A = this chain, B = another copy of it.
Amino acid sequence: MLNWEQLAECLKILGDKTRLHILSLLKEDELCVCELVEILQISQPAVSQHMRKLKTAKLVKERRNGQWVFYSLDGSNYPFFESILETLPDMQKEIEELKKKGLRVLCN
C-alpha cells in the first residue's frame, strides 16, 4: 500500500502551481512536451523536469510516439487523486487555442 513517505512525496509534487496546471491540461487529453511548452510559456527543460517529477510520483505515465513523448494521467495509486482532479479548473479553452495555432501534434 501507500506509505508515509510516498504520500508526503506525492502531495509535495502536487503542491506546485505549474504542475497542477499540467495535470488539469492532461485531464482533457494526453499532451507532449512541446505542446506543454507552448501553453505554459516556460522553457522546454522546465517542462521536462516537471514531467520527470510527476512520473516519479506515478501521477502521469508516458508513451513515446516517434520523436514525441506523450504524457497522460495515472492517478490509480492515490485514492484521493480523482477528488483533487475534480477541483481543478476546465482547460478546454487552452487546448482549443493550441489547435487554432496549428500546434496540436495529434489530429483530434
Contacts and interface: CB of A to CB of B under 8 A. Distances in A.
Interface in A1-31: 2, 4-5, 7-17, 20
A79 B8 CA distance: 18
Interface residues of A, number: 24
Q: How many identical chains are in the complex? A: 2
Interface stretch (A40-48, A66-74, A80-88): A80-88
Contacts of A78: 87
18 contacts: A4-B17, A4-B20, A7-B20, A7-B87, A7-B88, A8-B15, A8-B16, A10-B15, A11-B11, A11-B20, A12-B16, A15-B15, A78-B87, A79-B87, A80-B83, A80-B84, A80-B87, A83-B83
- Going nearest first, the 9 A-B pairs with the smallest beta carbon separation are A12-B15, A11-B15, A80-B83, A11-B14, A8-B17, A15-B15, A80-B84, A80-B80, A83-B83
**Which of A10, A15, A20, A89 has its CB near the most chain B CB atoms (within 10 A)?**
A15
Contacts of A14: 11, 15
